[in-house]
C-alpha cells in the first residue's frame, strides 16, 4: 500500500463548480499535512497547511480526519486558473508526496 494515496483524476469541472479531493495516508504517526499545487512543467508550491481543526483560505478549505487517516481539499467557485495538479503531502519525519490529482476547470 502506498504511503499517500490520491485519486489521480482527471477531474474536469466547469467554472464556478465546487470540487473536492481526498487523500489517504497509511502512517498513523504522521505529524503534519499539506496541500501543494503543481502547474504543468512547474515546481510544486505550497497551497496550504492542513490543521486538525480544519482551515480555510478564501475559496479553499482543508480538513484532516486523523481517525480515518484522510485529508480533503475543497475548492469552491472554481476558476480557470485553478487548473493544476494538487499534491497531498504528509510529514512522517520526512515528507511523503501523493502522486497528485489533476484538475481541469473549463469555461
Partner 1 sequence: DVKVTQSSRYLVKRTGEKVFLECVQDMDHENMFWYRQDPGLGLRLIYFSYDVKMKEKGDIPEGYSVSREKKERFSLILESASTNQTSMYLCASSPPGPPYEQYFGPGTRLTVT
Q: Is 53 in the site for partner 1 (CB under 8 A)?
A: no
Cell numbers of 35, please? 496541500
Three-class DSSP category at 80: helix
Q: Is 44 in the site for partner 1 (CB under 8 A)?
A: yes
Residue of 16, 42, 59, 80 that binds partner 1 (CB under 8 A): 42
Where is 77: in which H helix or E strand? none
Residue of 49, 69, 72, 104 that binds partner 1 (CB under 8 A): 49
Three-class DSSP category at 18: coil
Please give the full DSSP string across 44-73, using - where no structure is assigned.
EEEEEEE-TT-EEETTEEEEEETTTTEEEE
Shortest distance, CB of residue 16 to partner 1, whole angstroms?
A: 30
Three-class DSSP category at 60: strand
Q: Is 87 in the site for partner 1 (CB under 8 A)?
A: yes
Residue among 26 and 49 whose Cβ is closer to partner 1: 49
Three-class DSSP category at 82: helix
Q: Taking contact as CB under 8 A, which single stretch among the options 15-23, 52-60, 68-76, 88-96 is the one that binds partner 1?
A: 88-96
Q: Taking contact as CB under 8 A, which single stretch among the options 15-23, 57-65, 73-81, 97-105 is the one that binds partner 1?
A: 97-105
Amino acid at each position: 500500500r502506498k504511503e499517500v494515496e490520491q485519486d489521480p483524476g482527471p477531474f474536469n469541472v466547469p467554472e464556478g463548480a465546487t470540487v473536492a479531493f481526498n487523500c489517504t495516508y497509511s502512517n498513523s504517526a504522521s505529524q503534519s499535512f499539506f496541500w501543494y499545487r503543481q502547474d504543468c512543467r512547474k515546481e510544486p508550491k505550497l497551497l496550504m497547511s492542513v490543521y486538525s481543526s480544519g482551515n480555510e483560505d478564501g475559496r479553499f478549505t482543508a480538513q484532516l480526519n486523523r481517525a480515518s487517516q484522510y485529508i480533503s481539499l475543497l475548492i469552491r467557485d472554481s476558476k480557470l486558473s485553478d487548473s493544476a495538479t494538487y499534491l497531498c503531502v504528509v510529514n512522517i519525519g520526512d515528507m511523503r508526496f501523493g502522486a497528485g490529482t489533476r484538475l481541469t476547470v473549463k469555461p
